[in-house]
Structure 1
């Protein structure tokens, strides 16, 4: 009988890559999301009926249990970058993660994979980092054999990092960054999905794995690399943390005063706190190398999905080739 995996957040950036890989392995896949009708695209990852989006709210026991019932493995990819409405850091990343683990154990699930993040720290001043750590603790308490993955910033065609800043270059000549000297170790989304797949297949030992790519860059260097790829010149301006803190406070206040009608998706105080700390894998931590996975570099991928942000779009390389030919004829 074909095995079944439930992926919470399976239509999100990382979850969809895991769902695709699981389907290719012949597994039946439940994509547990709050809005199944918006996740119908995942059905195309397998044959008819193999990949099914279903309703589940990670804050609710009954819907989580219904999504998990009968599954051989569970992958939890649910996480938030900022709070909105009932989706608070604690309810989603701490209590929600613990709920999935507890019910998975009660339902006799064999394997549980929890998606966390580098920087998870129960003593952190950042709610995001603190609740990630609390979520890990809750998962391990309920499901001691769980596999926890801590990726650095994840890049890929649907990412909210390079795409976000590339869009900003279309409307101005200044590119502001907070924490220009903060270091990151971006990891390719399908490398993360490969680790999750191998975890479900029983090829990864229980424990915590920090996932980073082959390149360590400062925030400023990442923006310089992105600008090179999209063929644009912009002035990168580092915003001091104290100014960024004020900006985040004001933007958070606007969201609060409008009852969430205006969502602060630009910069929050919590994000400023996170940007004060490097986001690279720790020395001695298990990662892609220990799993025998050759990490994909940014140079091999960015060009494939950032080209729409070039002034000439898909014609940029053709124009560049024509220019080179003209220069050779002179």
Structure 2
């Protein structure tokens, strides 16, 4: 897949963007985006379920952190009132409530609600308030026909967003009954599909660092799966630099770092940075599936069968980092040592964390 795609129907230039609502702005990637927007002089609104957990954002002048239920259409409409652009970063990796595709929308599970229904509600609220600029976080390999429910839901949600940027007639039905917009009301949509994202507060490399300190041996499912990790700050810069760039309208960008690794290589690298000597083994396909099935049953869900299906498709980009952003992606080796090495300082707590499964 190319790093960017276009429907070749770029809308006219939009009015100057001053106010941006960042949905998911209190999360890992969102905080970086909000800080960059603040530095760029934008007014930012950040909805969150727990306002007190976003203290670093609350203190920023021009950043309004609002406690709200983004899944409530009425609350969402209120949040978007007066905004010039919307950035949607909402994504979940695991479901607490697993649904079925043949059930009504409310019973199709957490992936469906977060990755399909929420984007639909956002588009409807944008149409109501005349918001034309929408940036959306998807995932590398997102595909509405994927065997992975996560990637399948991300693919369907992405299709909704990209559809919102296409011209059409009033009587057309949208993807999965999504909103269609009349000619002249098209939105300027940009979709981002990152590989796995790393950074000081990530739940990827940090989780392996924790596991390495807890376990006497590391046995990996899908250890030969290929990944191309991308730095969180690079993802944030790509979003912000696209916001008012007409060249990014109606585009979908794959975001990857400069180097491809196997999962086994990544875990071995983390162990090296931590100064931990642990054997790291990669299971074959059948045992990988069994491990995923077993871990799915345990509290915390370190891995699920859906993760297994997602890892079967290598999370790598087929081309260079998009030149439109004006910078090259940061090598993991430049950033990871700065925060992974710090884990050694807190290793005397690890026994308690392992026993408590935290």
Deviates more, 1:136-145 or 1:220-229: 136-145
Question: Could you tell me which of 20, 23, 28 is aligned with 1:13?
Answer: 28
Residue 39 of structure 1: how far off its partner (Å):
1.9
- 1:72 Cα deviation after fit: 0.9
Deviations 1:114-154 (CA, angstroms, capped at 9, x unpaired): 00110101111100000101001111223442100000010
Give the alignment partner of residue 276 of structure 1, picking from 288, 293, 312: 312
- Which string of whole-angstrom CA distances, capped at 9 and with x for unpartnered residues, describes residues 11-69 of structure 1? 1000000000000011111111222232232123x22xx11211333422112111111
Secondary structure of the structure 1 residue equivalent to 2:325: coil
Cα deviation, residue 198, structure 1: 1.1
Moved over 6 A (4+): none
Q: Distance in 2 between matches of 1:312 and 1:13?
A: 22
Q: Deviations over 1:156-175 (max 9, x none)?
A: 00101000000111122212
Distance 1:243 1:84 in 2: 25
* Partner of residue 123 from structure 2, selected from 81, 101, 117: 101
Paired with 2:212 and 2:283, the residues of 1 have a C-alpha distance of 17
Equivalence for 2:56: 41
Query: Separation in 1 of the partners of 2:17 and 2:261?
Result: 43
| 53-62 or 222-231: bigger deviation | 53-62
> Is 1:179 equivalent to 2:201 in the alignment?
no
| Distance in 2 of aligned mates of 1:12 and 1:93 | 16
Q: State yes or no: 1:306 paired with 2:350.
A: no
Deviation at 1:103, TM superposition (A): 1.6
Q: 2-side partners of 1:311 and 1:168: how far apart?
A: 16
Query: Does the 8 Å CA contact 1:232/1:310 hold for their aligned counterparts?
Result: no
Conserved in 2, the CA contact under 8 Å of 1:170 and 1:309? no
Q: Give the superposition deviation at 1:180.
A: 1.1
Whether the 8 Å contact between 2:271 and 2:278 is mirrored in structure 1 is yes
**Is the 2:296–2:302 Cα contact (8 Å) retained in structure 1?**
no
TM-score, length of structure 1 as denominator length: 0.85
TM-score with structure 2 setting the length: 0.78
127, 139, 152: which one pairs with 1:130? Answer: 152
CA RMSD of aligned residues (A): 2.2
Is 1:289 the equivalent of 2:323? Answer: yes
Are the equivalent residues in 2 in contact too, given 1:204–1:291 (CA < 8 A)? no
For 1:217, the equivalent position in structure 2 comes to: 261
State the number of aligned residues: 300
Structure 2 distance, partners of 1:125, 1:80, is: 17
Q: 1:328 maps to which residue?
A: none
Partners of 2:221 and 2:289 within 8 A in 1:
no
Query: 1:228 maps to which residue?
Result: 272
Alpha-carbon separation, structure 2, partners of 1:13 and 1:31: 13
What SS does the aligned partner of 1:209 have?
strand
Mapped contact 2:21–2:87 kept (Cα < 8 A): yes
Instruction: Quote the residue 1:319 is aligned against.
Output: none
Structure 2 unaligned regions, length at least 5: 1-15, 99-108, 167-187, 348-358
- Specify which of 168, 193, 205 is matched with residue 236 of structure 2: 193
